[in-house]
Structure 1
Amino acid sequence: MSAVQFKENIEEIMALSKLPEVMLVTPLKEGKWSCKEIIGHIFYWDKFILEEMVSKMVQGGVLPTFPDHDVFNLEAIEYISNYDVNQAFEKFRLTRKELLEQIALVPSDVRFTLGKGKRQFSTDSFLKMFVGHDQTHLKQIYEFLEEER
């Protein structure tokens, strides 16, 4: 179920790429990220999950703990600054698609943990966290767009 929502978020996010570029590079609020940076941040998490976590999603596997959010987010914004708006959206789309393809290869009955945590995750329960993450950021973007009308 969560994989379906995670996939549907691709279309929702890519629809934003049709907005005027000036709106996509304007910070949502003073001192906050722009739409492009938010998409870059989401992409960077997908990239991390794909490169560092999916291969460890095996029965009894232990995924690495999430990196320090502040440091990671700074890296994400710096990384995405090297791309124009269209490239940023395309990097998101391709990485999310690859992530979904790789996670689909993990059997649904496989359970793994995160770091030293005891909670067992399936790919579905794991993705559910990131569906929520996407939705939080999409809500921020939609509120900004509503204010800009």
Structure 2
Amino acid sequence: MNKYKKDILDHQIKSIEFVKSLHSISEDQWRTPVKEGKWTIAEIIGHFKPWDEFVMKHRLPYLFSAGELPKGPDAQKINVESAAVSRIKSKQETLDTFIITREKLYGELLQIPDELWEREFSIGTSKLNLYDYLRGLAAHDCHHFEQIKNTHPFLKQLHPPDS
């Protein structure tokens, strides 16, 4: 397996494991902002679903085609909407939704042939390869996982994926 593909797939698995470990936190911890003025753990985990779906529906199918990539969504709007949904959904439902969606993303990434992981493509004026693109998304995951880990003393024992 291509080393870049393996790196990204390992990140996806570790992300799922990390989110599964959040089943053990209390409802109060789940609904408390990670820092003053920031999202709650519920909102952070809830905001991953629309982005994973965007990657699956509007990036992966188009990255290696001759056509243009579909325009990206309004990030602020997506984040505000997903945070609002996460405030009303149960912890279990939000966690399950993340896990199911991320497992689907993992499955789609697994199907991408090794030789495509280093092939260059363009997003706007930027040239990058699949690994670079997904590494950027993984770094975003890790940023939020570290926020969660640093929220409560007992969460420091959790092991989010490395960026």
Q: Report TM bin, short chain.
A: 0.7 to 0.9
- Output the CA distance in 2 between the equivalents of 1:7 and 1:60: 31
Q: Report the counterpart of residue 113 of structure 1 in structure 2.
A: 121
1:33 to 33, 39, 42: 39
| Residue identity opposite 1:133 in structure 2 | H
Q: Does 1:53 find its partner at 2:59?
A: yes
- Output the CA distance in 1 between the equivalents of 2:75 and 2:129: 21
Q: Report the counterpart of residue 73 of structure 1 in structure 2.
A: 79
Shift in alpha-carbon separation, 1:79–1:48, aligned structure 2, 3 A:
farther
Alpha-carbon distance, 1:4 to partner:
1.2
The 5-angstrom pairing of residues 74-93 of structure 1 reads 74-93=80-99
Deviations 1:76-112 (A, max 9, x none): 2133344211000000000000011012212232235
- Output the CA distance in 2 between the equivalents of 1:115 and 1:3: 22
- Output the CA distance in 2 between the equivalents of 1:99 and 1:66: 18
| Structure 1 unmatched ranges of 5 or more | none
| Structure 2 unmatched ranges of 5 or more | 1-6, 157-163
The 5-angstrom pairing of residues 93-104 of structure 1 reads 93-104=99-110
Alpha-carbon distance, 1:36 to partner:
0.8
SS for the counterpart of 1:30 is coil
Shift in alpha-carbon separation, 1:87–1:60, aligned structure 2, 3 A:
same
Shift in alpha-carbon separation, 1:75–1:5, aligned structure 2, 3 A:
same
Instruction: Please say if residues 26 and 35 of structure 1, whose CA atoms lie closer than 8 Å, have aligned partners that are also in contact.
Output: yes
Alpha-carbon distance, 1:61 to partner:
5.9
Give the ranges of 4+ consecutive aligned residues of structure 1 lying more than 4 Å apart after TM superposition.
59-62
State TM-score, norm by structure 1: 0.84
Aligned CA-pair RMSD? 2.4
2:140 to 127, 130, 133: 133
Shift in alpha-carbon separation, 1:82–1:112, aligned structure 2, 3 A:
farther
| Residue identity opposite 1:132 in structure 2 | A
| Residue identity opposite 1:142 in structure 2 | K
Report % sequence identity.
Answer: 26
SS for the counterpart of 1:87 is helix
